[in-house]
Amino acid sequence: MSKKAVEVQGLAKYYGKQCGIENVNFTIEKGEIFGFIGPNGAGKTTTIRTLLALIHPTSGSASIFGKDCIKEAEAVAGDLGYLPTEIYYYENMTALELLKYTADLYKVKANDRINELADKLNLELKRKISSLSYGNKKKVGIIASLLHQPKLLILDEPTSGLDPLVQQTFIDILKEDNKKGMTVLFSSHVLSDVQKVCNRVAILKEGSVIDIQNISELREKGFKKVELNLNEPLPDGLFEIEGVADFRQSSNQVSFIYHGDLNLIVEKIALLKLNDVFIEEPTLDEIFFHYYE
Amino acid sequence: MKVTIFKYEMKQLKGTITIWSISLFLVILLILPVYIGMMSSADTVVFEGFGDNPMLEAMGVTLEVIATPIGTYAFLTFYVFLACAIKGMNMGLKMITKEYMQKTADFIFTKPHSRGKVFISKIIAILTSALIIGLIYFLASWAGMVIGAGDNYDFLIMTQIAFSIVFVQLIFAALGLFVGIIFPYIRAPLLVATAVAFVSYVTGSFSNKMGYTALTYLSPYHYFTSAEIIKTGSYDIGFLVLSFFLVSGLLGISYHVFRKKDIIIVS
């Protein structure tokens, strides 16, 4: 029995001459919550769809719990739960019918589990799928992906469409199931979402994994976007330090993105007389543009 | 085959099976006795009128045959073929395209059932649907013949003509599955099914009259011509074998492509 939950080696997918992903390599340990982060078009969904055998790789291999994702797709699918970005179900079914059909497809009796998750997520099960809002369809998707208690849960942009309260409930459910042994692959383009739950994160860009980091390291070196409104001229060279990128200055306004020891930058800012200061999380595109070119 | 998927597909088909069964049941039950009565009491003027009808020649039915109750039934069933071809092709097409157009392919293909099993479950649902409709048509035909002709017809020939609609549905359903797998994003399957069934109907119907007998092979309706069944008492074995290979070939290629095809959902 493989000790790895997921092993991906040299995975590539081309659509004609267009590259979807190229030479993707990573492993996920059992019980880990592994993040998958990158801007739109980075290859996250293509990699996930290959793991799910929805698309066939041009080259390379991927296995889940030691089973080949393509050759043993049927056996692999039994261990998986999948929550796609966009939720599309049979519109003429009620949420309950859809979830019971899902349970039948997984060959499990899951009435208690369905009710438990529906209560937690505050979902009305008797409503038709066609009458549900996007957020409520996503809740149906969450229950459908968890009702058979999968060994590996694959989430593609799971929090989109969910309000903050439901997002938190969902993350609590994830952490609870993770404690029971469930491995999670959490794909997102929202860095803060990944930071909340993941142990490690793979960073994808233009179809390749360009870095794999422990989330604790990423947090320590946290990416910050700093905007300062100064009450005095900026001393020359104050922010010419490692980790500062996209530095812009116009009259008394200064902005830059910082990646490194937060104490250091706070010390520098403390030397200035300020009218105002904003320190926020940069967008992923800003991070990628300046740090992963 | 997976019973869960089969049951779900049957549930989806329940509405159309009911509508088609009731429609065909009522049409043949109400029209057949009237036509049989009309044809058996018709004078020569009526037959002269029919003699100008190019469809009779296209169907390979003579005036002598059509004047009999079984001939009248065969004549009416030939028109039912067209409806069944549209039904069959639409059913085959929708069985595949619905998963792409409703974007539910991700849902069904990420469950622990191979694509091969999903495909076979869908085929069996189509087969069951065609058989139910065929059985209802057979029962209505039987009742219509008893009302219109009493004992004056061959039950075995009538049975074979009635169940021809199952074969027509299956051939066109196999074609529909094949087209649906190659072009899964067809937005109007009914329109495509109607066009294909009609072109095939016209091509076959006039192939004999135009002298291009080879075109008959493009028209599966002619694999089960009633004239042949009435004349020999059984289906044309050659066309029956051809139907088998045609359906097997289409399903075999479809199965192979379906298993290997990438599922790319277009937003």
**Per-domain residue ranges of chain A:** 4-219, 222-291
| A55 contacts B267? CB cut-off 8 A | no
| A82 contacts B103? CB cut-off 8 A | no
Q: How confident is the model at residue A64 (pLDDT cuts 50, 70, 90)?
A: very high
- Strand extents, DSSP E, chain B: none
CB-based contacts of A253, cutoff 8 Å, min separation 6: A227, A228, A229, A230
| A55 contacts B112? CB cut-off 8 A | no
Task: Give me the pLDDT at residue B61, please.
Answer: 66
Instruction: Tell me the count of A-B CB pairs closer than 8 A.
Output: 60
Interface test with A, best of B111, B117, B267 (most A CBs within 10 A): B111
A86 interfacial to chain B (CB closer than 8 Å) = yes
Q: If you average pLDDT over residues A208-212, what whole number do you get?
A: 89
Q: If you average pLDDT over residues A233-261, what whole number do you get?
A: 88
Q: How confident is the model at residue A16 (pLDDT cuts 50, 70, 90)?
A: confident
Q: Is B175 exposed, middle or buried (0-12, 13-18, 19+ CB in 10 A)?
A: buried
Give the ipTM of the model, two decimals please. 0.81
Q: Are B81 and B153 in contact (CB under 8 A)?
A: no
- Percent of all residues in chain B with a pLDDT value above 90, rounded to a whole number: 57
Q: If you average pLDDT over residues B243-248, what whole number do you get?
A: 94
Q: Are B20 and B166 in contact (CB under 8 A)?
A: no
* The pLDDT of residue B229 is above 90: no
- Token code pair at residue A91: 């519109």
- In tens, the pLDDT along A127-186 reads 999 999 999 999 999 999 999 999 999 999 998 888 999 999 999 999 999 999 999 999
What's the topology of domain A222-291? Alpha-Beta Plaits (3.30.70)
Q: How confident is the model at residue B230 (pLDDT cuts 50, 70, 90)?
A: confident
Q: If you average pLDDT over residues B12-38, what whole number do you get?
A: 91
Task: Give me the pLDDT at residue B1, please.
Answer: 63
Q: Are A195 and A250 in contact (CB under 8 A)?
A: no
| A54 contacts B262? CB cut-off 8 A | yes
Question: Distance between CA A292 and CA A56 in Å, rounded?
Answer: 28
Question: Reduced to 3 states, what is the DSSP secondary structure of residue B243?
Answer: helix
* The pLDDT of residue B64 is above 80: no
The residue in chain A having the minimum alpha-carbon distance to the alpha carbon of residue B262 is A55
Name the residue with tokens 């009538």: B158
Task: Give domain A4-219's CATH architecture.
Answer: 3-Layer(aba) Sandwich (3.40)
Residue of A151, A145, A156, A5 whose CA lies nearest to A67: A5
Question: Distance between CA B173 and CA B164 in Å, rounded?
Answer: 14
Which residues of A are less than 8 Å from B264 in CB distance?
Answer: 55
- In tens, the pLDDT along B134-167 reads 999 999 999 999 998 888 889 999 999 999 999 9
Which residues of A are less than 8 Å from B267 in CB distance?
Answer: 86
Question: Distance between CA B126 and CA B246 in Å, rounded?
Answer: 16
Task: Give me the pLDDT at residue B46, please.
Answer: 63
Among A175-179, A192-196, A248-252, A265-269, whose mean pLDDT is lowest?
A192-196
